[in-house]
């Protein structure tokens, strides 16, 4: 019987001297970067690029071609920008600009303790590589965001409705208001049907007509079964001045039928907090006298939860109809409201 052949052992890996020296240099460089001037120089330069990118987005003039189109899309999504009036949520802009400055400023304040004036003065000269790295990282991030957020026109038209991937289960604020015919209206009245909540005001000459025309076209495009389970609630964005006569004139002028379309208003002390809770962000422009507001279409499901939020983006026009069809299909015949929503 032959003796077993021993399994050969592989020699333990031992880095060659050149590799060990390279690892030591890498660790030393990383330590100097994280504990010395390199990290503040890198972060500061990256923040400079970030701030410049945001400022170019916020204040981009209309004549800059693809960049202007990208900036408008960015502001609509992030700052509730209104292309017609130029209004947006400026507090969101301030927060987005100030947050990285505050964080990096706090870091530099802490880092500055224990450093002499000579050390600080020589930071940028001795760490130009960290500055260049920060600039490159910031520019790469801005370029990547631009490339990601600016699809081609063909791609925009072909994007399918995301459906359940963007559906929410948010609870809307309760309300008890009066419609343009003087009848009471509450959130409980909407349950059992699929309501669309939007915001307009009677004297608006900018985006409100576009909203109302789009809503009318949406209603007319629905099949009869979906129309019976669908309704529209328009919240007044100008509660101080929207009278029942003005609101009734708007409903009649656009050909809306009651009770499928109900224009609601209430006391300003009630309406203004309600509009904020729905995120319509309506505020009067002191220069023009117009009400700057977010252009929103908020779709509730039959159980009274906010399912989808859309705006005047051209992609959302088709998505809005698809969402209405999907939500009305969920409403059973026994669960539909007793009133005919849209005739």
Banded model confidence at residue 340, pLDDT cuts 50, 70, 90: very low
- In degrees and rounded to multiples of 5, residue 46 shows phi and psi of -65, -40
Q: Which pLDDT score is estimated for 72?
A: 76
**Residue 227 host element (H or E):** helix 224-228
Over residues 136-149, the mean pLDDT reads 62
Angle (nearest 5°) at CA 286 between 283 and 289: 80
Identify the band that residue 187 occupies on the pLDDT scale cut at 50, 70 and 90. Answer: confident
CB 316 within 8 A of CB 297: yes
Same domain, 279 and 192: yes
Q: Does a structural domain hold residue 244?
A: yes
Q: Where are the beta strands (DSSP E) in the chain?
A: 176-179, 184-186, 194-200, 230-236, 261-265, 283-284, 291-292, 297-300, 306-310
Using DSSP, state whether 87 is helix, strand or coil: coil
Question: Is residue 9 one of the residues assigned to a domain?
Answer: no
**23-74 residue pLDDT tens:** 777 676 666 665 666 667 777 888 888 888 888 888 887 667 677 777 877 7
CA–CA distance, 262 with 339 (Å, rounded to integer): 13
pTM for the whole thing? 0.56
**Residue at which a domain ends, from 102, 128, 150:** 150
Same-domain pairing of 201 and 299: yes
Average pLDDT value over all residues in the chain: 79
Neighbour-count burial for 217-237, b at 16+ CB within 10 Å, e otherwise: ebbeebeeebbbbbbbbbbbb
Q: Does residue 203 share a domain with residue 130?
A: no
- The CATH number of the domain holding residue 223 is 3.40.30.10
Percent of the chain with pLDDT over 70: 70
- pLDDT, one tens digit per residue, over 211-250 is 999 999 999 999 999 999 999 999 999 999 999 999 999 9
In this structure, are 131 and 170 located in the same domain? no
Q: How far is CA 151 from CA 69, 142, 313, in A?
A: 11, 15, 14
Domain of residue 324: give its range.
163-330
The answer to whether 76 and 313 have CB atoms below 8 angstroms apart is yes
Decide if pLDDT at 156 tops 90: no
Residues 135 and 264 occupy one common structural domain? no
Q: Are residues 106 and 178 in the same domain?
A: no
Instruction: Verify that 176 and 146 share a domain, yes or no.
Output: no
User: Which pLDDT score, from 0 to 100, does residue 257 have?
Assistant: 94
Structural domain total, the chain: 2
25 within 8 A of 114, measured Cβ to Cβ: no
Looking at the structure, do residues 310 and 245 belong to the same domain, yes or no?
yes
Q: Rounded to a whole number, what is the distance in angstroms from the first to the last CA of the chain? A: 98
**In sequence order, which residues have a C-beta less than 8 Å from that of residue 77 and are 6 or more positions away?**
none
If asked whether residues 187 and 325 sit together in one domain, one would say yes
Residue 106: predicted pLDDT: 77
Q: Are strands 176-179 and 283-284 parallel, antiparallel or unpaired?
A: unpaired
For the ranges 117-121, 138-142, 188-192, 323-327, the lowest mean pLDDT is seen at 117-121
Q: Which of 150, 176, 192 is the last residue in one of the domains?
A: 150
Encode pLDDT of 280-326 as tens digits. Answer: 877 887 777 788 888 899 999 999 999 999 988 877 888 999 999 99
- What's residue 118's pLDDT? 40
Asked, for residue 259, whether it belongs to a domain, the answer is yes
pLDDT at 150: 53
- Quick check: is 95 in a domain? yes
Residue 7: predicted pLDDT: 60
Task: Please tell me the distance from the alpha carbon of residue 150 to that of residue 38, in angstroms, as a whole number.
Answer: 34
Distance in angstroms (rounded) separating the CA atoms of residues 13 and 10? 9
> Which pLDDT band, with edges at 50, 70 and 90, does 202 fall under?
very high
């Amino acid at each position: 019987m032959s003796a077993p052949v021993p399994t050969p052992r592989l020699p333990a890996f031992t880095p060659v001297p050149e590799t060990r020296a390279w690892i030591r240099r890498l660790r030393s460089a990383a330590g100097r970067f994280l504990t010395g001037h390199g990290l503040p120089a890198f972060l500061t330069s990256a923040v400079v690029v970030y701030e410049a990118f945001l400022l170019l987005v916020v204040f981009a003039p209309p004549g800059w071609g693809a960049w202007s189109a990208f900036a408008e899309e960015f502001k609509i999504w992030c700052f509730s920008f209104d292309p017609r009036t130029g209004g947006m949520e400026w507090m969101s802009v301030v927060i987005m600009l100030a947050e990285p400055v505050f964080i990096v400023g706090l870091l530099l304040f802490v880092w500055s303790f224990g450093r002499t004036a000579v050390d600080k003065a020589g930071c940028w000269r001795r760490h130009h590589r960290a500055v260049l790295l920060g600039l490159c990282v910031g520019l790469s991030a801005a370029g990547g965001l631009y490339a990601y957020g600016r699809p081609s026109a063909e791609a925009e038209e072909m994007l399918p409705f995301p459906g359940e991937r963007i559906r929410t289960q948010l609870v809307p604020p309760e309300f008890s208001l009066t419609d343009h015919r003087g009848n009471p209206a509450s959130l409980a009245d909407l349950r059992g049907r699929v309501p669309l909540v939007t915001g307009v005001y009677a004297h608006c000459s900018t985006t409100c007509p576009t909203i109302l025309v789009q809503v009318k076209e949406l209603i007319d495009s629905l099949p009869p079964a979906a129309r019976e389970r669908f309704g529209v609630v328009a919240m007044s964005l100008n509660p101080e001045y929207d009278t029942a006569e003005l609101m009734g004139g708007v409903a009649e002028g656009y050909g809306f039928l009651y009770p499928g379309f109900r224009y609601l208003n209430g006391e300003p002390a009630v309406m203004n907090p309600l509009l904020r809770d729905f995120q319509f962000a309506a505020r009067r422009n002191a220069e023009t006298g117009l009400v700057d507001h977010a252009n929103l279409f908020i779709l509730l499901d039959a159980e009274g939860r906010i399912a989808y939020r859309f705006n005047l983006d051209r992609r959302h026009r088709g998505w809005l109809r698809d969402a209405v069809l999907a939500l009305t299909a969920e409403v059973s015949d026994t669960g539909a409201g007793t009133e005919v929503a849209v005739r």
